[in-house]
Chains A and B, each alone.
Chain A
Amino acid sequence: MADCRISPDAQKIDLSFAKEIYALENGSSIKLCMNCGVCVVSCAAMAEMEYAPRRLFNLIKVGKKNEVLKSNTMWMCTSCCTCKARCPRGIPIIDVMHDLKKYCIDKGYVSFPQAEFYQAFWNEMQKFGRVYEGNLMKNYLLKKGLIYAIKKGLEMKDMGMDMVKHGRMPIMQMLPFVSPPKIKGMQSLSSIIAKAQSQQKEAK
């Protein structure tokens, strides 16, 4: 585990990474963290996380870019909002985690399966306007390769069959080359998305 205290050796900290993170939508709120540890004891996914949120924030502050971007912390966050509801400094921690996920994807740090799932989810949304669970699962698994898809598909077959049998997942969606319908206002939605993304780029 990386040491997230400021190094005992006298050295100048490279602030360029921290500044990039502070510039993200909710990034500047990291500066409010006083290391009280309420997020640590609140977090549902603490046992799974490499660094607690406050430790991750410290790593950002001291410029440990690699440790931050390669850590699983943001990817294990389930957005349960417990830390956000409790943080005495009012840091919207789950939203900071969303920013960090986006930053990781933008910079190509996508080795965690969650990163692929997130991208598959967004693809589904911008293509059809809605997310179809069966189709999403299919495309997420195929993104990871055909062999993986078949292996995982077999592992999950009991549950999948249960869902199909009880009318909660149309089997059509699971078939390759079958696409779900688009919303009627797809063109309008696409224009809205394009405009929002260009605004976000301009704001940088």
Chain B
Amino acid sequence: MRYSFYPGCSMEGAAKPYLKSIEAVAGALDMQIEEIQDWNCCGATIASGVVGDYTQQVVTARNLALAEAKGNDILVGCSSCYLSLATTNKRFQEDEHFARMANEALAAGGLKYNGTIRVRQFLEALISDIGLEKIKARVKKPLTGLKVAGYVGCQTVRALPWEFDDPENPVFLDKLIETLGATAVPFPMKARCCGSSQAVAAPEVVLSYGKNILNSASAGGAQLIVTPCPMCQLNLEAYQGQVNKTYQTNFSLPVLFFTQLMSVAFDLGPAAAGLNYLIVPAEKALGSFAR
């Protein structure tokens, strides 16, 4: 199957291993993904707080317009990009007045969007289009005995609630974990907020939420956490040292993008798994699977 792909800004920086592992996993499952040429930032949930929903959505729509000629669905990994692109796309399809106005603005940049393509979460496309059976068949190293907490976070399932999965108690990620042969541990905080961009302006908020989330994962017996969200990954992993310092805890829980764990189970090699990018090392938790 062919898709357009929107990586988003974080995949050029902090979420580099997400990009590498998405590309590798897609390749292994015969999904042809093609990056949208010259894409621009979607504004996340920040830009609208400065310029308003309308302007942000028009800016986001430039990406939709650039992708439309190919006619393929757009896959998005980052949950915040997904929120921005999927919400804008929905508005194009449902709000005629908006679509007309937004196209006037896009025309100023020589573009037009007709609302003919879909915006999809990479996780959702894996499960709906490829299917768990095919994924299972591709597993070379079943992760038997590995206890994994699936941290879905917020916007993946709540950007457009009930478009896929349960916005309060999501199961897609757990099902995927189990398909890889690992055990998805009970994790009551799997859809609770990590504090998101407060990491910059109010890091104490992120430390306190992070402590609670790491506690919840540990209590379930998790050896590592996987997530589809770059912000969640950053807040739970890069800030883990500061959580330990602030709360006198001693968490040492690796936080991987779920596609990194898939790369391990598919045995796609170290470059695809990208474990070297992790600040909290995952080799010990992964044991023989990582070798």
Q: What is the interface of chain A, defined by CB distance below 8 A to chain B?
A: 24-26, 44-45, 48, 74-76, 78-82, 84-85, 94-95, 97-99, 101-102, 105, 112-114, 116-119, 121-122, 124-125, 129-134, 137, 140, 158-159, 162-163, 166-170, 183-185, 187-189, 191-197, 199-200
Contact = CB atoms under 8 A, between A and B. Distances in A.
B54 A199 contact: yes
Nearest to A72: B202
Contacts of B45: 79, 94, 98
Contacts of A102: 48-52
B201 A114 contact: yes
Interface string B53-67: 111001100100000
Nearest to B106: A192
B158 interface: yes
Q: Secondary structure of the A side of the interface?
A: helix
Contact of B48 (A95, A116, A129): A95
16 contacts: A45-B205, A78-B193, A80-B155, A81-B161, A84-B158, A95-B53, A99-B52, A118-B50, A125-B59, A130-B12, A189-B40, A194-B108, A196-B55, A197-B51, A199-B104, A200-B52
Interface string B147-185: 000000011001101000001100000000000000000
A81 B188 CA distance: 17
B108 A117 contact: no
A166 B40 CA distance: 25
B9 A166 contact: no
Given A129-B40, A167-B16, 6 more contacts: A25-B53, A81-B161, A95-B48, A95-B53, A121-B50, A131-B41
B201 to A, nearest CB: 4
Given A25-B53, A45-B193, A168-B16, A125 B43 contact: yes
Contact of A183 (B40, B51, B101, B161): B40
B154 A80 contact: yes
A200 B55 contact: yes
Contacts, number: 202
B145 interface: no
B158 A85 contact: yes
Contact of B158 (A81, A124, A169, A199): A81
Contacts of A132: 9, 12-13
A44 B10 CA distance: 23
B241 interface: yes
Nearest to B274: A167
B241 A163 contact: no
B38 interface: yes
B227 to A, nearest CB: 14
